[in-house]
Amino acid sequence: MSRKKFFQNITNILICGVFGTCTTFFVFSALTLWLNGSGYLTQYSGTTGEESPLVFSTMEVLLMCSLLCSTDVIAAISMVNSETSPKLYSLLFGEGVVNDAVSIILFNSVLKFAAEPFSASTPFLIIGDFLMLAFFSLLIGFVFGLLCAFFLKVQRAFTKHAVNECVIIFCFSYCSYVVAEMFHQSGIITLLSVGITQAHYTWYNLSPQGKNGTALTFQFLGSAMEGFIFSYLGLTFFAYQEYNWSPRLIGIEFIIVIFGRFCGVLGLIKLLELCTYKSGVHWQELFFMSFAGVIRGAIAFGLVLRISYDDAPNRDVIVSTVITIVVITTVLFGSFVGLLTDWAVSAGGEAANVTDNDDFVRLDDVSHHSNLVHPNQEEDSDHQSDNRFEEEVKNMGCLQRCFFKMDRYYLKPWFVHKYSAEKLRQDDEFYEVQAKDGKNLQKIYKAVDDAISDTASNKALSQHSSKSQ
């Protein structure tokens, strides 16, 4: 993914990912609370089939709505080409990552107070815990990511073997997760933070083999775990048939999920545009993001299984409802998201112009390993001269400009081995050539080694002959 496009759209990503998710949560909660108070809901026993009234507590409603805020945009991301449609891809990817982070933190905050009765102070307690949990979870991941980069910068002996580099990155990541859970923070958010930090700093301290090996290893693990979760969901779906079910809740909550998602993305951006905000995103792209974000997936499924009967007496209904919505949205919306891809891409006007002021190299010059090699592939803007860098940051906001300057002049020199902007550019170019023409380079290296060996042998032979004479 293009990091330049990602940061160019960071405002839209944060609006949709943070404020959009919070808006979705408020819409879900308000409508579900109204539905709960109407007396319309009923439940059926999975064992006897008897029907009985269904009434949730306020905390149960908030708990269910918080986990339903998490989206799964994997299907949409797989349909969008990051090279031909970098803006739409960065919006989908960025909003999906931020949405998952906010949803997980929101769920953990609500879960912390789920066993307590709802009072006037409960919303403020949830907001305070939400902010604290987000801050410390991200901080732990950031610290461990920097420690990993500094370790590989100093201990260069570990960069001689790609296996060692993979193990070190895995160990630092796992340690960050353990520390976060030990202090009752969000381990998943910490893993997200440490991964972003490692991609930004640790990446340059790896050997070329380590870069390729770590990218392939963790992409394989991610794809395997994603497949395992959905396989497990499909195999265990009918294991919950003895739970209490509420068809009315499932049907109405399904509609609420669709309505809330469109309010949190399309509605929120258009409302801000009425207030003179310029998003630069076409309404068709916003519609595609909203449509793709209706899908509920692995995050919602994993979170709902954490709920105990102590937290929610109606756990059976919550679990059966969430799992059914996950299955329906994944099958239904996941099947049709591909049909909207070309329609949304054409609205952005990116397909006709692959290059954008030299932000991207030509497609035929890019290795087919590029997405596997480095998901956050460096662009030329990250390696430009200081004068051009200073000229570009003038157009940024104050906080963004301070971060880029601190990153370039302080953090990277501290945590990147033999840091220089020109060296990083050369390393990226060399690694791209190596990934593209590795076999040819091996032949060249062998020929050079043979030539050096022959030269050394001839030199030694001539020295021996001169001594004999």
Instruction: Give me the long-range contacts of 223-228 (CB less than 8 A, separation at least 24).
Output: 226/74, 226/298
**429 lies in the same domain as 337:** no
Structural domain includes residue 220: yes
Structural domain includes residue 455: yes
* 158 within 8 A of 164, measured Cβ to Cβ: yes
**Domain holding 299: CATH number?**
1.20.1530
> Which residue in the block uniquely carries the two structure tokens 């020109």?
422
Does the CA dihedral 223-226-230-235 come out positive or negative? Answer: positive
What's the longest Cα–Cα distance across the chain?
Answer: 111
**64 lies in the same domain as 115:** yes
**Other residues' Cβ atoms within 10 Å of the Cβ of residue 280:** 12
Give residue 335's pLDDT band: very low, low, confident or very high (50, 70, 90).
Answer: confident
Question: What per-residue confidence (pLDDT) applies to 454?
Answer: 56
Structural domain includes residue 358: no
| Two structure tokens written together for 88 | 């739409």
Residue 33 has pLDDT above 90, yes or no: yes
Looking at 315, 348, 381, the residue that finishes a domain is: 348
Q: How far apart are CA 173 and CA 202, in angstroms?
A: 12
Q: How far apart are CA 68 and CA 322, in angstroms?
A: 7
Does the CA dihedral 226-229-231-237 come out positive or negative? Answer: negative
Q: Is 444 helix (H, G, I), strand (E, B) or coil?
A: helix
Residue 382 has pLDDT above 50, yes or no: no
- What mean pLDDT comes out for the span 346-358? 50
**136 lies in the same domain as 21:** yes
* 9 within 8 A of 286, measured Cβ to Cβ: no
Arithmetic mean of pLDDT over the chain? 81
Q: Cβ contacts of residue 88 below 8 Å, gap of 6+?
A: 80, 285, 288, 344, 345, 348, 350
Q: How far apart are CA 105 and CA 111, in angstroms?
A: 10
**If residue 340 lies in a helix (H) or strand (E), which one and from where to where?**
helix 315-348
Structural domain includes residue 359: no
**221 lies in the same domain as 156:** yes
In tens, the pLDDT along 151-163 reads 999 988 888 889 9
- What mean pLDDT comes out for the span 263-279? 90
As for how many domains the chain has, the answer is 2
Q: Cβ contacts of residue 375 below 8 Å, gap of 6+?
A: 1, 199, 215
Looking at 318, 348, 378, the residue that finishes a domain is: 348
Residue 75 has pLDDT above 90, yes or no: no
- What mean pLDDT comes out for the span 398-418? 80
Q: What percent of the chain has pLDDT over 70?
A: 77
**323 lies in the same domain as 426:** no
If phi over 0 gives left and psi between -120 and 50 gives alpha, with beta otherwise, what is residue 418? left
**What's the domain range around 205?**
3-348
Structural domain includes residue 356: no
Cα–Cα distance list, 104 to 90, 137, 299 (Å): 21, 11, 8
Looking at 348, 378, 402, the residue that finishes a domain is: 348
Question: What per-residue confidence (pLDDT) applies to 167?
Answer: 94
DSSP 363: G
Give residue 351's pLDDT band: very low, low, confident or very high (50, 70, 90).
Answer: very low
**331 lies in the same domain as 409:** no
| Two structure tokens written together for 255 | 């509609």
**211 lies in the same domain as 265:** yes
Closest CA to 299 of 252, 250, 357, 233: 233
Structural domain includes residue 360: no
**219 lies in the same domain as 332:** yes
Structural domain includes residue 128: yes
- What mean pLDDT comes out for the span 325-354? 76
Structural domain includes residue 361: no
Question: What per-residue confidence (pLDDT) applies to 423?
Answer: 58
In tens, the pLDDT along 427-450 reads 555 555 555 555 555 555 555 555
**156 lies in the same domain as 56:** yes
**304 lies in the same domain as 421:** no
Give residue 338's pLDDT band: very low, low, confident or very high (50, 70, 90).
Answer: confident
* 370 φ/ψ angles, rounded to the nearest 5 degrees: -60, -40
**266 lies in the same domain as 384:** no
In tens, the pLDDT along 104-163 reads 999 999 999 988 888 889 999 999 999 999 999 999 999 999 999 999 999 888 888 899
- What mean pLDDT comes out for the span 320-333? 92
**460 lies in the same domain as 323:** no
